[in-house]
Amino acid sequence: MHRRWLGRGQKSTLLCALIYLSFSACVPAQADPGKLMAELQATDGRRNGQQDFDFSFGSWKTHISRRLHPLTGSNVWADYEGTSVVSKIWNGRGGIGQTEADGPAGHLEALSLRLYNPQAHEWSLTYSSTGGTTSIPTSLSVPTIGEFKHGRGEFFDTELFKGRSILVRNVWSDITPSSCRFEQAFSEDGGKTWEINWKAIDTRMEVGTGAASAGPGEETVEHDGPHDFDFEFGTWKTHLSRLLHPLTGSTTWVEYDGTTVVRQVWKGLSNLVELDADGLQGHFEGVDLRLYNPQSHQWSLNFASSRDGTFGPPSIGEFKNGRGEFYDQETFNGRAIFVRFVISDITPASCRFEQAFSADGGKTWEVNWIATDTRVNDESHKTD
C-alpha cells in the first residue's frame, strides 16, 4: 500500500449512502455513552471527538425500516432483520463495519468506513453496499460530514437522487449501553423540511451468539480478481522512501520505517490496509480500502491519511502477470496530473510498491514513493 500521504489536493464524488450499514451499533455496558458525550461537549466546545463512535464497536442485531419510494409521497415501508459487526481501525481514529440483513424487499449487504479529522473535529463517513437504493458495491460514496453534540450525531451531504440534487441528513440518537437509533432523511427544499426514509434500531448481542462470523476473517468469494491481494494478508515491516518535493526537479528523499497490517473484509469483496510509520519528517498513519468490481475485473484503491481523515479520488486498475498497475487523475499544487501506482516483485515474504506522477499526460513519470515490505510471521490479521 503505502502511498498518497503526500498532502496533495483531494476531491470527492456524489454520496449515495441510503444504507444505514454497520456503524449503527452501540456501547460498552460500563457507561452511558450518550451522557458521556454530552458531558464532554459541555466542558469543551472543540473537544477531541475521536472516541465519539466508540459506542458502535461490537456485534449487533439490527432492525431496519426503509421507505421504498422516497420523495414521491409514498408511505410504503419494508422491514429487514440482520446483524452488524463493527471493528476499530487506525488506533481508534476510525472504524469499519459490515451489515447483512434480509426482508421482503430483498437482501442487503453493506460496508461502512468512519474516519476522524483531527483538524476539523469532524467525522467523514463513506459507504459501499449491495441491495441498497443508491450506494453501490464497487466504489465508495463521497463522505457525509458531521459531529456529535450533546450525545447526538448529525451528518450532512449533497447527493443526486433520480437526477435531482438533494440534501441528505444522517442522525444517531437514543444511545444507551445496549441500543441506539439511526435515521436518514432527504430534503428537496434546502433543509426546510425533511422526509425520513431509513430507520434502524440496533441491540447489542451477547458474546458468542454468532454475529462474529461476519467479521474480517471470512471465506473469500470464489472467482478470479477478488484473490489478487490475497498475497498481502498479514503483518509486514515497511521501509519507505519518499521524494519530498515531487515535480520540482528536487532529488531530496526521506526515509521511514513502520508496520503495515492487511486484512480481508466484506466476504473477500474488499480488503483493508493500515500503515503506521516514523521517520525524520515525523509520524504518519494511513488507511487504504480496496474494492473489487466483478464486472470490470478491476480494483478501486481508496486512500486517506490521519492528517485529515478524508479519502482522495480512487486509483483504478488490475493485476496482469503478477504486476498490479492503478491510475487516476488528480490535482497537485494546483496542476492536473496523472498518478500511477505499481505493485511488483511479489513473493511470499516481500513485495514492492511505487507511486509516480506525470505532468505531461503520461509521456514521462517521476517516482516519488517507494515502499518495500517484508512479512512478519503474525496471525493477528485473521481476527479483529
For 41-98, write each residue's pLDDT tens digit: 444 455 688 889 999 999 999 999 999 999 999 999 999 999 999 888 887 788 888 8
What is 33-214's CATH number? Answer: 2.40.128.20
What is 225-382's CATH number? Answer: 2.40.128.20
The mean pLDDT value for 300-310 works out to: 85
Q: What is the pLDDT of residue 376?
A: 94
Q: What is the pLDDT of residue 34?
A: 52
Give me 191's grid cell. 433543509
Residue 257 binned pLDDT confidence (cut-offs 50, 70, 90): very high
Contact by Cβ (8 Å): 203, 211: no
**What is the pTM assigned to this prediction?**
0.66
Residue at 237: amino acid letter: K
Helix (H) or strand (E) holding 34: helix 33-43
Which is nearest to 157 in space by CA: 147, 142, 171?
A: 142
Contact by Cβ (8 Å): 82, 100: yes
Domain ranges of the chain: 33-214, 225-382
| 314 vs 138, higher pLDDT | 314
Of 26-35, 98-107, 319-328, 373-382, which range is least confident?
26-35
Tell me whether the CATH fold assigned to 33-214 matches the one assigned to 225-382.
Answer: yes
Residue 221: is its pLDDT beyond 60?
no
Give me 154's grid cell. 448529525
Residue 299: is its pLDDT beyond 90?
yes
